[in-house]
Structure 1
């Protein structure tokens, strides 16, 4: 039986943080863009505690100028430098 891919939450969080930093945005900037009253959701995404909803993932991709697939890291694929080339 084939193994289905799964999302590496921690690596995806790191990638979100790297993409945010690469685009020159602060957590506060993302909070404002998304209209969140607190930054907690963004911090949870960055530490891999939760994933963004599908709607928020679409928005993140637009904000970062990339694709949703470039944000999500599958188990076994993260090398630590991929976010710089994503």
Structure 2
């Protein structure tokens, strides 16, 4: 979650968008949600992730950092 927040912040800056710009795009009354995403206090909803990816012109995979190491159990 921490790396995803850092990605959102980095990608926003690369796109030359301010937090206020994203606030307006999403129609949020305050910028708190965006700050929470960037500070890893919360993740965007799926709907907001799709919009964020479109606005930043990246894929969802470019935004989300997922731990790909998943322990597997072999059943008997």
Please confirm whether the aligned pair reaches a TM-score higher than 0.5, indicating the same fold: yes
Q: Which runs of 5+ in 1 are unaligned?
A: 1-8, 77-86
Normalised TM-score (structure 1): 0.77
Q: TM-score, normalised on structure 2?
A: 0.86
Q: CA deviation at 1:75?
A: 3.1
Alignment of 1:33 onto 2:25: yes
Q: Does 1:42 align with 2:34?
A: yes
CA distance in 2, matches of 1:53, 1:74: 15
Please say if 1:21 is aligned against 2:45: no
Bigger-Rg structure (1/2): 2
Stretches of 4+ aligned residues off by more than 4 angstroms = none
2:2 to 10, 13, 18: 10
1:67 aligns with 2:59: yes
Aligned length: 68
CA RMSD in angstroms comes to: 1.0
Question: 1:28 offset after TM fit, Å?
Answer: 0.2
Q: Which residue, out of 21, 34, 45, partners 1:53?
A: 45
